Amino acid sequence: MVFNDTVDINTTIVAGSVTTSRGTVTAGQQGGRQIQVSVGNLAPNAGVTINYRVKVNPRVPAATSRIRNQGLVTALGVAGVATDDPSTSTAGDPT
């Protein structure tokens, strides 16, 4: 299983901030906009926690009212599954 995320165009990943409770961070530790974590196999009902910080870029367009983000989890033989904002009841919505 692999987690991928391209953060919002108005943000940048804080270098060294990507952590995972399982697997290996394969992209994102140098900053930039792309995160990838190779999680490996998970048993049924098992979980993984991936944390990272971003900073808001200094020149965000004045018309920007929101900064949103959504990752994607992929696995061999399984269609990609988008991450979901846990603070809403809407399925599949970005944070």
- Per-residue pLDDT, averaged over 59-76, amounts to 92
Output the pTM of the full model: 0.86
What are 16-44's pLDDT values in tens digits? Answer: 999 999 999 999 999 999 999 999 999 98
Residue 4 phi/psi, 5° resolution? -125, 145
Buried b (16+ CB within 10 A) or exposed e, 28-54: bbeeeeebbbebeeeeeeeeeebebeb
- Per-residue pLDDT, averaged over 57-82, amounts to 91
By the 10 Å C-beta count (0-12 exposed, 13-18 middle, 19+ buried), 23 is classed as middle
**Tell me, what's the pLDDT at 95?**
66
